[in-house]
Structures are given as C-alpha cells and as structure tokens.
Amino acid sequence: MLTASENAQLTRVGPGTVMGDLMRQYWMPVVQSSELAAGGRPKRVRLLGEDLVAYRDPDGRAALVSAFCAHRRASLYFARNEPRGLRCVYHGWQFAPDGRCVDQPNERPESVFQDKVTLPAYRCAERGGVVWTYMGPASAPPALPDLEWALVPDAQRFVSKFWQGCNYLQALEGGVDPAHISFLHAMLDARDAAARRALDNAAAGFGFAAQLERAPHIEVADTATGLLLGARREAPAGQYYWRITQFLLPFHTMPPTEVGDDPLMHAHIWIPMDDAQMVNWCVSWHPTRAITPEEIADFHAGASIHVTDYAPATSDPYGDIRPTASRVNDYLADWEAQRTCKFFGVPGVGAQDKAITESQADYDRSLERLGRADVGIIRVRKRLLDAAVALRERGVAPPGLDAESYRVRPASVLLPKDSPWVEGAKERLIVR
C-alpha cells in the first residue's frame, strides 16, 4: 500500500511534478507519421498536461509546439502552415518549428520585438512510422530507443492507439499484472474451445494454460531498463510454463508471447495526456516475417490488444481515437455472455482492459489491499518512484537513456522445473 503522498508522486505528470520530470527525460510517441500531411492542418494533442499542436511543414518535417500563440493566446490549431512555420490567423505572428517568432506583421518594420518572443516547442524525430518527441531539458537528447518493432520493415509491424479516460498508471499496472488474464479475459469453462472462438478469445494470445491455472507463482527480476515479470504455471512433462513480461521505464510494457517458434510480439506505450486521461499505444510485430491479413483482421476484431472501433471523430486532442465502447454504453457489455460463458461480458481484450481500469476512477492507492500476486505491481511502482526521486533530489540520470537497452522482447517458454527462469529464457528475451 502506498501513502497518499507516494500515490500523488506516481500519478501526477504535469510540468514540475516528480513523475512528469522523469517522463520528460525520455522520447515519447505523439502521432503516427501518416497523420501529418506536409503543409497540412495542425493536429491537437495533449501530453504531460500541456496543450500542443503537431504538424508537418511544407518540406515534410514534423514539429510540435504550444497550442496557443504567444501574442494573445489564440489557438494555433487554426494557424496557416507556411514554409517558415505556423502563422497565427489572429494577427499574423509566425513561429518556426523550434518556437522562435520569425514574423510580426502587425508591428512596425523597425521593431525588434519578435527577437524577444518564443513559443514552447519540442524536438521531433520519426521512426517506425511514428512521430516521437523529446520534452526534456537536455540540449542533446538521448538517442531514440532501439525498440525492435520500430526498426523492422513496415509490413512486419501493426500500430494502433486509443484514448483512455484514466490515469496512465492504472492502465500500465494492468499491463504488468500476470494474474488478471485468468479472470478478466477468461471463459467460464476454459476447455470450451468453440465458445472461445465465438467470443473473441481465440486469438487473444493468452494461451490455454493461462486459462487453466488461475493463481500463478510470480517472480520479478531487475533489468538495466526496468523489470522482468515472470508468471509460472504448471506444465506437462516436469516443466513450468513461464510467461514473461517486459517493463521498460518509464511507460513501455511488452506482454508475453505464446509458446512456439513463430509468435507475434506485442507492446504497449502508456502515454499520459494529463493526470486523468492517456493514450494507449498498441503495437504488434514479427521479427522476421510480414504480419498476415488474417492477423490484422484479428486485431480489428478485438481479439488482441488493439482497439480500433472508434466513435465519430472530433478535433479535440486525440478526439479521433475515442473508442465506441465507453462508460456511457457499459462498454457494449454482453450481460448474457457474462452469465453463461464469459467471466466478463465486454467484447474484446483491449476493451475489457479499458473498461476495468476506467472503472477504478481516480484510483487512491492508499486505500487498496495488495496480496502476494501483486508483487510485480509493487516493484514497478518502486522502480518508477525511485528513479523519479533520484532525479529530483540528486540529479541521477534515470535508467534506459541508452538506446541499446531497449533491444529486448517478451517471451513465453517451457522450462525444466530446476531451470532458473531468467537464464533459461535469456535467448528469447534479447534482440540479436
């Protein structure tokens, strides 16, 4: 159980907060590259409590600046996208991608006032079909993380994202909770294969063994960039079935794959818009082959981590990725299915996660009661809080600022019972 003060430190992400300052040390995704057209209209986004606009200038360079003009705070969402930068339509002030004011046409020609005006702006870079930003103070930011999914060819990667109406941490905690899959995403009868196929769990990637044993033994191991979380279940022939999740500071998780020689990999990036809403980036990839049309159809059908059924788009920040399933319609819950064959009647794995984490509302961790099955969540919180406090109080650089430390994968492995799980799974956990 956390104190109220520790809960606030972990969950508040705005400018000047302990966790917000930690997250600003890392590159974070903003939008997919395909969302910004060269010379096209700006797009509203919100990150770490700041209202911003992303755009691509006529020469094709992505940029991210404050959503409000430095002159009279008019919205730059309506700005003209011109070769030298965004031009506010109110009085014509123009701002370069780096935030410098480069033109003030309503001032007299002899004025030098524009040289004294800047707009908050953040570095952008592109990799893996994603526009990334660095919002931190370093004059030379760290290299982009060498996440495998961002380095494979486009055909081997599928990226989606959706808005969640909750704090980033409660969603992230679901991503490092190995026990919940045997309940939240389960069938009432795990042996009912026909029901699984009919009710969206056939391709969920959670595995028959995970459905059978509801109380796995959980172990946690430190890594250079975060944690490994291993969930151990009994398996035939004197073996254990280990499902291994990667947590990479400060907001990356990789849930376990399925056992086999050709599994898809999956990842989440839990990006805070502010203290009460976030963007859940969902990535599936394969290291050596293209993702098949059948696999993509499963993603869109809700049988994996992706949620792509969106409500009608608005121009609000991330207003085009608000899922149709929401609080106001009970997340499209099928109550009859919940009564007869599913543990939870909401259709779709990602939608189930979204529904239950949003149901926690403004989650006060000082009121919770944690058990042995929550050891992974406890360690993730400690890792985050230790890194944030060390940065704030002693100026210690947080883990994971070296690009190479992100060259890892999740895994599921069958190991002899006397085999150490981290060592036994090592070859599957490292990108060669």
Pairwise CA distance, residues 410 & 404, whole Å = 16
In this predicted structure, what is the pLDDT of residue 202?
Answer: 36
In this predicted structure, what is the pLDDT of residue 201?
Answer: 41
Do the domains 31-134 and 148-429 sit in the same CATH topology, yes or no? no
In this predicted structure, what is the pLDDT of residue 183?
Answer: 86
Per-residue confidence in pLDDT tens, the chain, 432 aa: 789 999 999 999 999 999 999 999 999 999 999 999 999 999 999 999 999 999 999 999 999 999 999 999 999 999 999 999 999 999 999 999 999 999 999 999 889 898 999 999 999 999 999 999 999 999 899 999 999 999 999 999 999 999 999 999 999 999 999 888 888 888 887 666 555 554 444 334 444 444 557 889 999 999 999 999 999 999 988 999 999 999 999 999 999 998 777 889 999 999 999 999 999 999 999 999 999 999 999 999 988 899 999 999 999 999 999 999 999 999 999 999 999 989 999 999 999 999 999 999 888 888 888 999 999 999 999 999 999 999 999 999 999 999 999 999 999 999 999 999 999 999 999 998
- Kindly tell me the sign of the dihedral angle through the C-alpha atoms of 310, 315, 316, 317: positive
Burial class (CB in 10 A: 0-12, 13-18, 19+), 347: buried
In this predicted structure, what is the pLDDT of residue 206?
Answer: 43
Closest C-alpha among 1, 29, 5 to residue 17: 5
In this predicted structure, what is the pLDDT of residue 426?
Answer: 95
Instruction: Delimit the domains of the chain by residue range.
Output: 31-134, 148-429
Choose which CATH entry (3.30.420.40, 2.102.10.10, 2.60.210.10, 1.10.3720.10) describes domain 31-134.
2.102.10.10
In this predicted structure, what is the pLDDT of residue 228?
Answer: 98
pTM tops 0.75: yes
Tell me the three-class secondary structure of the chain, residue by residue.
CCCHHHHHHHHCCCCCCHHHHHHCCCEEEEEEHHHCCECCCCEEEEECCEEEEEEECCCCCEEEEECECCCCCCEHHHCEEECCEEECCCCCCEECCCCEEEECCCCCCCCCHHHHCECCEEEEEEECCEEEEECCCCCCCCCCCCCHHHHCCHHHEEEEEEEECCCHHHHHHHHCCCCHHHCCCCECCCCCHHHHHHCCCCCCCCCHHHHHCCCCEEEEEECCCEEEEEEEEEECCCEEEEEEEEEECCCEEECCCCCCCCCCEEEEEEEECCCCCEEEEEEEECCCCCCCHHHHHHHHHCCCCCCCCECCCCCCCCCCCCECCCHHHHHHCCHHHHHHCECCCCCCHHHHHHHHHHCCCCCCHHHCCCCHHHHHHHHHHHHHHHHHHHHHHHCCCCCCCCHHHHCECCEEEEEECCCCHHHHCHHHHECC
In this predicted structure, what is the pLDDT of residue 366?
Answer: 86
Q: What is the CATH code for 148-429?
A: 3.90.380.10
